[in-house]
Structure 1
Amino acid sequence: MLRDLIERRVFRYVVAYAAASWGVLEVIDQLVGNDVLPQVAYRIVLTLAICGLPGALIVSWFHGAKGRQEIPPIERWLLAAVAVFALTTTGFVTKMTAGADAARPVAALSPTENPARVAVLYMEPRGGEEAEFLASGLTEALIDQLSEVRGLYVVSRNGSQVFRHVQAPPDSIARTLEVGSLVAGTVSVSGDRVRVDVALTSGLRGEQLASRRLERPRAEIFALQDELADTVAVFLRRAIGRELGARFLRSATKAVRAWELVHQAGQEQDGAALLVAANDLDAAARRLATADSLLALAEQEDPAWVEPVLQRGWVAYAVSRLGGVERSHNEQWIARGLEHAERALASHPNNADALELSATLRYRRYLLNLAGSPTEADELFHRAERDFRASIAANGGARASAQNSLSHLLINKGELAEAKLNALQAYATDPFLENVNLTLWRIFTASWGLQDGVEAARYCTEGNRRFPDDYRFSQCRLMLLALPGMQEGLADAWRVLDEFTEESPPQVREVNRRRGMMYISIALARAGMADSAKSVIYAARTGADIDPLRDLAQLESITWSVLGNTKEAVRQLEVYLSANPQALHGLRTDAQRHDLPWYHQPLLDEPEFRALVGLR
């Protein structure tokens, strides 16, 4: 056999084929690197080169020997089979990696264009030795904090030291350190006040992208330094994230007008979000309608660009949320959003954004009980879970928003440990802190569901510190009171309830007020104040017009369970299940495994409960 291989010069053919393939790949790599060819071109050529190796072996076997040779039929069949295999594999690879470039925008940018490559220059001190000490410490603390963020490349202290006492233009610094973003600022100490001015600048263009001023009273120097570093780091991570997103959008289309329209639509969406926060939902709806119109025009400018399609889906999702839990409104806008998601997936089946959009809309449809049957509800739930997981995988496991949503889904599935793990991973893999408030909320709710008071209190406190105006972190303070042994703050419960109600979005404000009252009733029951707990329950009850999902009935069942009235607890749970039939299967499964949530554990041996969930 070895003699035949040598005589037919198979090894020589294989080496020549490998050398030629390498040369072609080098040329393609240069063309891709200079934006002459798209990223997918390299993958296509690489796949063809690998699949073509059997063809080289076949040709060398039949024609490598010296002398005149015929082309036998079997060679034709073998080469045809190799060609079909190569083309099929190439098509599959092209299809499956269609969304890969969108999942890795950073890789498409050169070092000096990439905002995620950062140099923190030493802050300029103003105000004597104390200012100098604080400026130096703050700079190094920022370098250390940002260096720990996955997704950022941060120049080391030694790299920043090179320009500590040197006046150089931003573009020179950026080219020398190979970064796209520069952080610079001043630290001023005057009297009993410390002021920090910090700015994020584009390295090559010298354009200021964002700035922030902080003023603090003078305090113990190390504590002050840590506080300032933490606040500035959060600001910088968000600013870099926004710039990176904008930079990637600019590089994803050659149609300048399409990019301009998408950029304008993004501004309309941002404006709508501010109007929602200000409780002006009608004005928010108008701005979202404008955003959708701009995105439709962008689609016409560049039909191959998936971003306008995706953004139209997210606009539809945002509009659906304006309607609270109103059925027909949500059915209309979720369906419209799913149309855009399916269009995006048809052309980019592995696009992380498209998969997340599809999952988010299906999961919202499930949560609002819009499925026509229990079977359809089950299909929605499992398709949403599958698409969330696929979105995370398509982005290399680092997709905080999808991990957040998957965590919420897993909480509803009863998989609390995995839900908390996903939320913790989201916390670690959200380099630009776009979803950190939701991440903290998911970690809290998973900890609460696991009856882990210490961890729940920790993340509730962190959420309140970082997002004092987010209604969720007033709600978590009420939820903590419902845990065993956590009733110390009961005296402040009604004040916290007022804050929770005031901070809640207008479309859910009334149901949230009553939800908060139900948590207070659980706390009162745990504190042994049965009559007070019952009075609060009766005051919090409402009809389906305010609480169409009957979530309040489920919370009421917890209070009755704590009070020892399991029959009334089961009756309220029946009210909840009548409005949420899709939840029955999961509850039955948990009961069969003796793995009910802690707040339903007392019901496990009750005949009425077992009959309700279909157990003997």
Structure 2
Amino acid sequence: MAYVAFAFALIQVADVVAGSYHWPDGVMHLLFGLLVLGFIVALLLAWYHGEQGRQQASGTELLLIALVLAVGGGLLWRFARVGPAGTDIASAATLVHPAASSTVAASRAAEPTPAAEAPAKSIAVLPFVNMSGDPKNDYFSDGITEEILDALAQVPHLKVAARTSAFAFKGKSEDLRKVGEVLDVATVLEGSVQKSGDEVRITAQLIDTRSGYHLWSEKYDRKLTSIFAVEDEISKAITDKLQVQLAGGSGRTLVAQKTNDPLAHDFYLRGLTLLAARSVSEAVNAFQQAVSIDPSYAQAWASLAEAQALLPAYGLDATQIANANSLKSAQRALALDPNVALGYVAQGMVYSNQMRWADADHALRHALALAPGDAEVLNQYAQFLEGVGQLEPALVELDRALQRDPLSGTSAAIRAQLRFILHRDDAAAAAVQIKAILVAHPESLFVHRSAILIYLNLHRYPEAEAQSRAASALNGTDPEAKTLLVRGIADAAQRTRAVQSLETSPANADLRHDAVLHAYFLIQLSERDRALAVLDDGAANGTALPQLLWFPAFDPIRNDPRFKAALKKMGLPYTPVGAAKP
């Protein structure tokens, strides 16, 4: 009984100390296991002394103790290896978010690595709950969340989980310990927003994902005109609690007063939600409303620039018109505030489409300098590097992006492409990876389009056709013209019809507008000379998909002098300043 009382007291004290100093769970597991072993030893000693009437330990007694300790220690070692402390991020994702497990697993290298504890200075800003009672107001609480997340992402040496991954947990009552494991963060910020008329109530609380303890909480009742001040107070409170040093000193404002007009801010928040859902045209309209109400709203101009740059990829605007509009919006944003990273991102996207590689490189590097921890900036820079033929550095940047946004379908799909092109994954592994990403992101047009490219290169034509149909369904287009191309690649008997459709069908006009994409299908339809002619003619017109040039599909003509000449016209491969030649 004395031993039990002693063990109970020791566990209570250790639990308090472990919580205060954030000891790993393994310490408490080990302590408990040792106390259990000690109890068994104590029982054996009591029995042995009671039966034999001895007061000194004998050789037999010592042998019994050693045997119990050996068996118990072996069991402890075994369970420590397979228990929660050894669970990797993909397994944790399965427990928390079934779709997430596919993305996380697919975004990891084939060889397993031990799970590491999340850095202490790391945070995920989970979607604030809309307490207005009207689901149509979700955009407001989501937008407030995103603005706080963006503010924290500016802080040096603070790891902030990106929006895509954090918002994967929206509407789910998950164990925060598992959220921390999936997103690899030590803390989460959660809260609620209630808007009524021109007033808003915001509650926020910071929680340690390892212990579940509340580190900080606050409630704010303010006018809508003071919303940025509240966001700034919350962001600074977080940096204080996590003991993160702000660049420029503690007096620096993380969330500036971006607009004085609540209605302009409201349209901006609507645009953020629409853009995240890739309702790009509707997002453009919302941002245009915001800047028409407040023409000095730099952040809204930058977001408008990004949305306009994305329009051609979704078949919603002519490339030249969208590029020109995007550059005007970006220039307006940067003239108002030269520290808006998104303005440089939009410039980088457009310059890449125009094959102005040095300008794109400069713009994206500037964005990285302003927002080094922003997953979207890292993703865009990785896509730029892949496009100019810097494949290894692109993979490095993609891995950095996925560290901050582990549930991003876009980054995971690009990473799968890169690993396949670089022969890091064989055909079987590439197929497993893209299938897992598709399971996790069935509504992502980008993921379905990436799957088409990978399946075509793997000669898995039924899967490519299925993904072509899925992409058409999401894009609201007739699938037959695109699926005919897949069947023509797979079956020589249908190739003539497929080539005719590619060259003349209005349904395939979007493919003909981009020389690289056009040539990509021609070469797979065995139209080698025609593909080379298209590349030569279109080399000066720009491309939104230079990444395709490094796919295995172009290998049959890669050493052809005409292909090399076309690449030279495009300025490819391009080596960024300070980088090794590819």
Equivalent residue, structure 2, for 1:310: 299
C-alpha deviation, 1:607, in angstroms: 6.1
C-alpha deviation, 1:290, in angstroms: 1.2
Equivalent residue, structure 2, for 1:153: 187
Equivalent residue, structure 2, for 1:415: 390
**2:178 maps to 1:141:** yes
Partners in 2 of 1:107 and 1:606 — Cα distance? 47
**Which residue among 174, 180, 183 is the counterpart of 2:206?**
180
Describe how 1:196-595 pairs up with structure 2 within 5 A.
Answer: 203-205=217-219, 252=254, 258=260, 260-261=262-263, 263-270=265-272, 272-273=274-275, 277=279, 281=281, 285-296=284-295, 299=296, 308-319=297-308, 321-322=310-311, 324-327=316-319, 329-344=321-336, 347-348=338-339, 352-364=341-353, 366=354, 377=355, 380-395=356-371, 397-430=372-405, 436-450=408-422, 452=425, 453-454=427-428, 456-484=430-458, 486-487=459-460, 490-504=461-475, 509=477, 514=481, 517-522=484-489, 524=490, 529-542=491-504, 546=510, 547-561=512-526, 568-581=527-540
User: Is 1:404–1:426's contact at 8 Å kept on the other side of the alignment?
Assistant: yes
CA distance 1:388–1:276, shift in 2 (3 Å): closer
Partners in 2 of 1:407 and 1:272 — Cα distance? 24
What amino acid is aligned across from residue 581 of structure 1 in structure 2? A
What amino acid is aligned across from residue 206 of structure 2 in structure 1? G
C-alpha deviation, 1:468, in angstroms: 0.9
C-alpha deviation, 1:104, in angstroms: 6.4
Partners in 2 of 1:262 and 1:344 — Cα distance? 16
User: Is 1:450–1:598's contact at 8 Å kept on the other side of the alignment?
Assistant: no
User: Is 1:440–1:463's contact at 8 Å kept on the other side of the alignment?
Assistant: yes
Q: What's the secondary structure of 1:258's corresponding residue?
A: coil
Q: What's the secondary structure of 1:581's corresponding residue?
A: coil
CA distance 1:557–1:325, shift in 2 (3 Å): same
Equivalent residue, structure 2, for 1:371: none
Partners in 2 of 1:515 and 1:205 — Cα distance? 54
C-alpha deviation, 1:569, in angstroms: 0.8
User: Is 2:267–2:289's contact at 8 Å kept on the other side of the alignment?
Assistant: yes
Partners in 2 of 1:394 and 1:284 — Cα distance? 24
Partners in 2 of 1:317 and 1:501 — Cα distance? 24
Partners in 1 of 2:263 and 2:529 — Cα distance? 54
CA distance 1:426–1:578, shift in 2 (3 Å): same
CA distance 1:201–1:536, shift in 2 (3 Å): farther
What is the percent sequence identity of the aligned residues? 13
1:435-454: CA deviation from partner (whole Å, max 9, x where unpaired): x1221232133234335435
Q: What's the secondary structure of 2:513's corresponding residue?
A: coil
Partners in 2 of 1:259 and 1:513 — Cα distance? 48
User: Is 1:404–1:422's contact at 8 Å kept on the other side of the alignment?
Assistant: yes
Which runs of 5 or more residues in structure 2 are unaligned? 1-147, 163-172, 190-201, 222-229, 238-252, 570-582
Describe how 1:61-80 pairs up with structure 2 within 5 A.
Answer: none
User: Is 1:518–1:536's contact at 8 Å kept on the other side of the alignment?
Assistant: yes
What amino acid is aligned across from residue 267 of structure 1 in structure 2? L
Q: What's the secondary structure of 1:203's corresponding residue?
A: strand
What amino acid is aligned across from residue 180 of structure 1 in structure 2? L
1:185-220: CA deviation from partner (whole Å, max 9, x where unpaired): xxxxxxxxxxxxx9x99832299xxxxxxxxxxxxx
1:576-614: CA deviation from partner (whole Å, max 9, x where unpaired): 331232679x99xx9xxxx96533332245566567668
User: Is 2:386–2:394's contact at 8 Å kept on the other side of the alignment?
Assistant: yes
Describe how 1:25-40 pairs up with structure 2 within 5 A.
Answer: none
1:81-114: CA deviation from partner (whole Å, max 9, x where unpaired): xxxxxxxxxxxxxxxxxxxx998637889x9xx9
User: Is 1:558–1:600's contact at 8 Å kept on the other side of the alignment?
Assistant: yes
**2:546 maps to 1:598:** no
User: Is 2:445–2:474's contact at 8 Å kept on the other side of the alignment?
Assistant: yes
1:47-94: CA deviation from partner (whole Å, max 9, x where unpaired): xxxxxxxxxxxxxxxxxxxxxxxxxxxxxxxxxxxxxxxxxxxxxxxx
User: Is 2:342–2:367's contact at 8 Å kept on the other side of the alignment?
Assistant: yes
**CA radius of gyration, larger in:** 1
Partners in 1 of 2:149 and 2:273 — Cα distance? 25
Instruction: Tell me the TM-score normalized by structure 2.
Output: 0.51
User: Is 1:180–1:202's contact at 8 Å kept on the other side of the alignment?
Assistant: yes
Partners in 1 of 2:567 and 2:208 — Cα distance? 60
| Higher RCO structure, 1 or 2 (CA under 8 Å, sep 6+) | 2
CA distance 1:252–1:437, shift in 2 (3 Å): same
